[in-house]
Amino acid sequence: MTRFLRPPLLVLAGALILLALWQGLISGLHIPAYLLPTPAAVLAAFIAERRTLLAATGFTMTGAALGLLLSTLLAILLAVAFNRSRTLERASLPLVIAFRSAPVPAVAPLAMLALGRGLSTSILVVTVVTFFPMLVNLSRGLAAAERNASELLHVCGASPWQILWYLRGPAALPFLFTGLRVGGANAILGAMLSEWLTGARGLGNLILDSGEMRETELLWAGVITSVAVALAMFWLTSAGERRVLRWRP
């Protein structure tokens, strides 16, 4: 029981310390409320606007999750293709790098023109933001399999796809979860950036509108919610990694 309760208790203690520092900073420096509201005021905004925050969070998380899922599937397919053909990798990698180098503030308006202001644009922007880290990690993971084990399976008559399934795939799993941990936070940022640029009804647009309307308490509530969502995605990915990779020493 102690082992189970210790992580959430540490998180709670850290949050309480942060809130105390927040309140002390406001009181000590006499920061006006329009710049930095008190924790109590932000909590009141959470309660008063809970339905708005919940709807915006759901929209942002949906776009981030679907975009991350799509980029992961594309990265798996391309990483396997690169692993099977070095010629294809050398020919396609410059195109992939050029695709990643495209500035997101330029991609989002183009996506909006093609797909509209809805969820599809957020999914596309998140896919662009998270695809390259996933591809790099998966390519390294597929290449990280032990050479001796690969040669042994080849001598025993295993096909290339059997080697991929039984050796290279498991070797790439830690790299996959590393990419997911990095991509999860980037997915939230990408979805919010898309909402800032397109005006979609997510956390990004909520924060932007709150700032323009001088609703500082709601603005900070949106910022804290986005941080909490990003941390939750990181923790969920870490928990999934521990569960899936229990066989690792």
Residue 192 maps to a domain: yes
Determine if residue 199 is left, alpha or beta; phi over 0 gives left, psi from -120 to 50 gives alpha, anything else beta: left
- Helix axis angle for 119-143 and 86-101, nearest 10°, is 140
Give residues with Cβ within 8 angstroms of 185, minimum separation 6: 230, 233, 234
Do 130 and 199 reside in the same domain of the chain? yes
**219 shares a domain with 125:** yes
Residue 65 has what pLDDT?
A: 92
In a domain, 249, yes or no: no
Q: Please indicate, yes or no, whether residues 103 and 3 belong to a single structural domain of this protein.
A: no
The pLDDT assigned to 61 comes to 92
Determine the average pLDDT of the residues in 176-192: 87
Q: Closest Cα to residue 38, out of 13, 51, 19, 52?
A: 19
Say whether both 20 and 129 belong to one domain: no
Q: Any residues with CB less than 8 A from the CB of 182 and at least 6 apart, and which?
A: 133, 137
Instruction: State yes or no: pLDDT of 166 exceeds 90.
Output: no
Mean pLDDT of 162-187: 83
| Sole residue written with tokens 């009804």 | 201
Structure pTM?
0.83
Residue 139 domain-assigned? Answer: yes
pLDDT for position 213: 84
Do both 57 and 4 map to the same domain? no
In a domain, 196, yes or no: yes
* CATH classification of the domain holding 51: 1.10.3720.10
In this prediction, residue 55 carries a pLDDT of 92
Cβ-based neighbour number of residue 46 at 10 Å: 17
pLDDT digits (tens, 9 = 90+) for 57-77: 999 999 999 999 999 999 999
Residues 67, 133, single domain; the answer is yes
Q: Which residues span the domain enclosing 50?
A: 38-244
Query: Tens digits of per-residue pLDDT, 109-156?
Result: 777 777 777 788 888 889 888 888 888 888 888 887 777 777 667 667
- Residue type present at position 43: L
Residues 163/150, Cβ–Cβ less than 8 Å = yes
What tokens were used for 217?
């308490």
Give the position of tokens 């924790």.
39
- Which pLDDT value is given to residue 190? 86
Residue 2's pLDDT band, with cuts at 50, 70 and 90, is low
Shared domain for 46 and 140, answered yes or no, is yes
Residues 60 and 163 grouped into a single domain: yes
The pLDDT value given to residue 6: 65
The per-residue pLDDT for range 5-51, each reduced to its tens digit, is 666 677 778 778 888 888 888 888 888 877 788 888 888 888 888 89
Give residue-wise pLDDT tens across range 194-205.
888 887 788 888
The one-letter code for the residue type at 88 is: L
Instruction: Give the total number of structural domains in the chain.
Output: 2
Label residue 10 exposed, middle or buried (CB < 10 Å: 0-12, 13-18, 19+): exposed
pLDDT band at 4 (very low <50, low <70, confident <90, very high): low
